[in-house]
Amino acid sequence: MKHRKLPDVKEAFELYRKMPHGFLEEKAKAKLRRMGYRIIDREHAPEWIKRAGGPDIIAENNGEYVLVEVKPSDQLRRYSKAAAKLILVTDVEEGKAVEVWGLKELET
């Protein structure tokens, strides 16, 4: 399978307005691949992942699984430009198990 070159951050902001979810999902997959993960189709995922739900991306590297939910948000994008720290609060049991990637993190 051929992979196309992904745009830089400036181009990303323009694309974000046009097709945010699909664009961010492709950028996240590209970063995971650079980190050594392979992307797994849901039908090939372990049963425990299938029972947990339907994440946007399932990735695996040496037995470590990563489940990714892509959530574009105009509100969060606006907040991130403010000169203040942005904290996301969710109902996961332990926040240390959650990472947040913005467009700049997707480039590294």
Which residues fall within 8 angstroms of residue 58, CB to CB, at 6 or more apart? 39, 40, 41, 42, 45, 49, 65, 66, 67, 68
Q: What is the pLDDT of residue 6?
A: 67
C-alpha 27 chain-centroid distance: 7
The dihedrals phi and psi of 59, each to the nearest 5 degrees, come to: -130, 155
Place of tokens 């969710």: 90
The total of other beta-carbon atoms located within 10 Å of residue 12's CB is 18
Is it the case that residue 16 has pLDDT exceeding 60?
A: no
Q: What is the pLDDT of residue 12?
A: 65
Q: pLDDT tens digit string along 41-87?
A: 989 999 999 888 889 999 999 999 999 988 887 778 788 788 788 87
Task: Categorize the per-residue pLDDT at 13 as very low, low, confident or very high, splitting at 50, 70 and 90.
Answer: low
